[in-house]
């Protein structure tokens, strides 16, 4: 067959396939066996699948995400170090459930206890850290609730640091997604530990209970949980290319089910959606005329990256609309909102962010103000 004809046929087939992909609709999210679940894009915050996401449920050991977050905050503030040694109390040593197997009266570093909490889900390590930081586990729980409020976790109430069953110890899928995103965003160096598959302490090797780490190479964290009242739970996060998804699965009937439900959610999100960063924080998107100022030009941009999550193949259908306030006058403070940036897909707005001043501009001299006033009168 003629080489040019073969090339033409291949080109037509490829073009047809591209058009087919672009035209393919996004199916509804899968119906899954869990009390509640949530799939969200980390970068854009867009929810891709959900069920009972604001239903208050017991989180079991997923609670330890907040325990670890408080520890990270203590380290960040300088009030705690990874090398600091913690004396193991009798209460911590006696904790039931999953254990790191620390010994009462021994001194263990914060770093080792953190790994025992994250990788082995040790209740003993968790209580030891809570007592070291706050004096008692109940006081530490109050501390956890304060941070939960700061993160906007409005459906959450912590009673203990481990997730030990208590009808008043509750959270929601929405709140857990906020917490998971905060850990990844604020403490990427500590998030790395969540992908560790095993940890050995006191001669005892234990394996990470998040079996998705073996099943899906794109999964690089988070945390499992299980009690009779909470069921089997799993928060997972996976990254493929520039897209990171977070899945929250609460209240399944078995360990295998929580894995399958989590995998189904992640596969659905990566298969049918794509994430694109359109603009970077601090990037100049427009230059506006400013009146009565020491300068005539004002650079406008965003205070955070603008990321959109859209059905695959729809990128070329995006439109950006920039709306700038009329008659901007000095003085202007850096960060002051002076308009909006709206992103639309086929005419429908999918995200909007404030357009802000990227620098401060003071009021101009008497001469500059007078000149601008005259120009405005003629305009």
Domains of the chain: 36-273 (3.40.710.10), 280-378 (2.60.410.10)
**Could you report the per-residue pLDDT of 107-151, keeping only the tens digit for each?**
999 999 999 999 999 999 999 999 999 999 999 999 999 999 999
Nearest-CA neighbor of 264 among 9, 33, 13? Answer: 33
As annotated, the active-site residues are 61, 64, 121
Q: Which of 13-22, 100-109, 173-182 has the lowest mean pLDDT?
A: 13-22
**Looking at residues 281-293, what average pLDDT do you find?**
91
- For residue 246, the model assigns a pLDDT of 98
Residue 103's alpha-carbon distances to 95, 120, 348, in angstroms, are 11, 16, 60
Dump pLDDT digits (tens) for 238-269.
999 999 999 999 999 999 999 999 999 999 99
- Name the pLDDT band for 7 (thresholds 50, 70, 90): very low
CA proximity to 82, closest of 236, 187, 208: 187
Q: Which residues contact 231 (CB under 8 A, 6 or more apart)?
A: 35, 60, 250, 251, 252, 253
Residue matched to tokens 């604001």: 54
Query: To which residue do tokens 């994250």 refer?
Result: 118
The pLDDT of 157-177, averaged and rounded, is 97
pLDDT band at 2 (very low <50, low <70, confident <90, very high): very low
Tell me what the pLDDT averaged over the chain comes to.
Answer: 91
| Cis ω for the linkage preceding 31 (within 30 of 0) | no
φ and ψ at residue 280, rounded to 5 degrees? -100, 150
Average pLDDT over residues 33-41: 95
pLDDT at 26: 83
Neighbour count for residue 294 (Cβ, 10 Å): 13
For tokens 């007078």, the residue is 370
How many whole angstroms separate alpha carbon 80 and alpha carbon 188?
18
Helix (H, G, I), strand (E, B) or coil at 105: coil
pLDDT at 16 over 60: no
Across the range 312-336, mean pLDDT stands at 92
Mean pLDDT of 345-357: 93
Separation CA 23–CA 314 (nearest Å): 9
Q: What pLDDT does 372 receive? A: 60
Label residue 291 by pLDDT band (50, 70, 90). Answer: confident
Q: Strand pairing partners for 110?
A: none
Q: What is the mean pLDDT of residues 37-63?
A: 96
Beta-sheet strands, E only, within the chain = 36-41, 47-51, 85-87, 107-109, 198-201, 204-207, 219-227, 231-240, 243-252, 273-279, 286-289, 297-301, 306-311, 318-324, 337-345, 348-357
Half-sphere exposure of 5 (CA within 13 A, CB side): 2
- Counting Cα atoms < 13 Å in the Cβ hemisphere of 121 gives 21
Least confident of 92-106, 309-323, 362-376: 362-376
State how far the Cα of 372 lies from the Cα of 368, in Å rounded to an integer.
6
Task: Give SS3 for 211.
Answer: coil
Segment among 5-9, 61-65, 86-90, 139-143 with least mean pLDDT: 5-9
Measured CA distances, 332 to 282, 297, 328, 329 (Å): 16, 11, 8, 7
CA distance 368 to 379: 16
Eight-class DSSP state of 195: G
pLDDT over 70, % of the chain: 93
Q: Does the structure show a pLDDT above 90 at 334? A: yes
Looking at residue 378, what is its pLDDT? Answer: 76
Task: Quickly list DSSP for 236-268.
Answer: EEEEETTEEEEEEEEEESSHHHHHHHHHHHHHH
Whats the size of the chain, residue-wise?
379
Percentage of the chain beyond pLDDT 90 is: 82
Average pLDDT of span 81-102: 96
Mean pLDDT, range 12-33, rounded to an integer: 61
pLDDT of residue 5: 37
Q: Radius of gyration (Cα) for the chain, nearest Å?
A: 26
For 308, counting Cβ atoms within 10 Å of its Cβ (0-12 exposed, 13-18 middle, 19+ buried), the class is: buried
In whole angstroms, what is the distance from residue 42 CA to residue 215 CA? 21
């Amino acid at each position: 067959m003629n080489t040019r004809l073969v090339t033409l046929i291949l080109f037509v087939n490829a073009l047809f396939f591209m058009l087919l992909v672009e035209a393919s609709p996004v199916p509804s999210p899968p119906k899954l066996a869990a009390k509640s679940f949530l799939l969200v894009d980390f970068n854009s915050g867009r929810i891709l699948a959900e069920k009972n996401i604001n239903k208050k449920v017991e989180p079991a050991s997923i609670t330890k995400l907040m325990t670890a977050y408080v520890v990270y905050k203590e380290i960040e503030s300088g009030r705690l170090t990874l090398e600091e040694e913690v004396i193991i109390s009798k209460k911590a040593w006696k904790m039931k459930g999953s254990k790191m197997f620390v010994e009462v009266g021994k001194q263990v570093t914060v770093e080792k206890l953190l790994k025992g909490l994250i990788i082995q889900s040790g209740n003993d390590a968790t209580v030891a850290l809570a007592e070291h930081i706050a004096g008692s586990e109940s006081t530490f729980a109050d501390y956890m609730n304060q941070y939960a409020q700061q993160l906007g976790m409005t459906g959450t109430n912590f009673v203990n640091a481990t997730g030990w069953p208590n009808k008043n110890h509750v959270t929601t899928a929405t709140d857990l997604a906020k917490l998971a995103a905060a850990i990844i965003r604020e403490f990427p160096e500590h998030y790395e530990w969540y992908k560790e598959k095993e940890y050995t302490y006191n001669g005892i090797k234990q394996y990470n209970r998040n079996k998705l780490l073996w099943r899906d190479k794109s999964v690089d964290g988070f945390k499992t949980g299980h009690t009779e009242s909470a069921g089997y739970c799993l928060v997972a996060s996976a990254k493929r290319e520039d897209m990171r998804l977070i899945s929250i699965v609460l209240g399944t009937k078995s360990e295998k089910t929580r894995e399958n439900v989590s995998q189904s959610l992640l596969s659905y999100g990566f298969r049918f959606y794509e994430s694109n960063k359109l603009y970077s924080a601090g990037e100049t998107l427009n230059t506006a005329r400013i009146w009565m100022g020491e300068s005539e030009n004002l650079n406008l941009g965003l205070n955070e990256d603008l990321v959109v999550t859209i059905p695959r193949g729809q990128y070329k259908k995006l439109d950006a609309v920039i709306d700038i306030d009329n008659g901007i006058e000095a003085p202007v403070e850096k960060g002051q909102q002076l308009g909006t940036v709206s992103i639309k897909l086929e005419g429908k707005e999918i995200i909007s962010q404030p357009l802000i001043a990227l620098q401060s501009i003071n009021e101009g001299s008497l001469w500059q103000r007078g000149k601008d006033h005259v120009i405005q009168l003629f305009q």
